[in-house]
Amino acid sequence: MAEHRGEQTSERGGRRIGELIGAGERSFSFEFFPPKSPEGEAQLWAAIRDLEPYRPTFVSVTYGAGGSTRDTTVQITGRIARETTMEPLGHLTCVDHSVEELTGILGSYAAAGVRNVLALRGDPPGGPGTRWEAAPGGLRYASELVSLARTAGDFCVGVAAFPLGHRESPTLDADAQVLLGKQAAGAEFAITDMFFRLEDYLALRERADAVGVTIPILAGIMPITSLRQVSRMAELSGREVPAEVVARIARHERDPVALRAVGIEVAAELCQALVDQGVPGLHFYTLNRSRATLEIFEHLNITA
């Protein structure tokens, strides 16, 4: 798989992810989450160092519910910018933050050398499925956060997209209109949440095309190494792992090694099908582990 490490830069010095993706070559990227312990931090940096030789287009660091990992997220993202060759993407959500606080966080990212952010509304403070309420003096929609990031520091801004629709969208067509609104606010690319069927991504792309979305939509890939873990993560998004995927993997539930091998195979097949359909990029949810992602690369014959 080709990747792009172009020299486009913003006026403030960082490479803009939207330009790197838009240059025409397929991207691939990795997502990490802030660790909760010294052991977790060691595992995170081991994964980062293992994946760095593959020269991803960018890497992202998630932002905990309610901003619970805000400082750690900014610190790790800044360290990636300073100490690695990789382009970092910092996450930011509207949850429990005023506009003043959000502007301050964006300033922290800029000071750390981070020029790209992923603007998310975020899950309701009460958890997925509960009523969404904006914080006092805060924002209600991801599109508003996109606008803030663009005006507060001329960041390159990415957003989320949902192959099966956001759990709060009344219809899939309404969900496509929301994505269009994010584009109109200044978003330069989108990343999907995890999905497991090619047809779900293709349907999203068709809906997006129909309403005028032109920004690249990267496919979010979750390697299945634990059926219980991935099922729980899907549940939090208001979705289920497709029955055919569960059936294929569950037959090995008493053999962790075989289950993991089949899970990697499922993800690799999906990635290859997406590549064959011209996906602009693959974004891997690594869970701070490099091995599963590297094995998928081997299936796709990707070299450093």
* pLDDT single digits (tens) 181-221: 999 999 999 999 999 999 999 999 999 999 999 999 999 99
Predicted pLDDT of residue 162: 96
- CA–CA distance, 265 with 267 (Å, rounded to integer): 5
Give DSSP secondary structure letters for 234-266.
HHHTT----HHHHHHHHTTTT-HHHHHHHHHHH
Mean pLDDT of the chain: 87
CB 80, CB 116: distance < 8 Å: no
Predicted pLDDT of residue 11: 37
Active site residue 41: no
- CA–CA distance, 140 with 157 (Å, rounded to integer): 17
CATH 3.20.20.220 fits 17-224+280-299, yes or no: yes
Assign residue 165 a region (left: φ > 0; alpha: ψ between -120 and 50; beta: otherwise): left
* Weakest-pLDDT range from 19-33, 81-95, 133-147: 19-33
Of the candidates 31, 87, 144, 295, the residue annotated as catalytic is 31
CA-angle at 36, arms to 33 and 39, nearest 5°: 100
Query: Is pLDDT of 7 > 50?
Result: no
Higher pLDDT: 247 or 23? It is 247
- CA–CA distance, 168 with 175 (Å, rounded to integer): 9
Predicted pLDDT of residue 197: 95
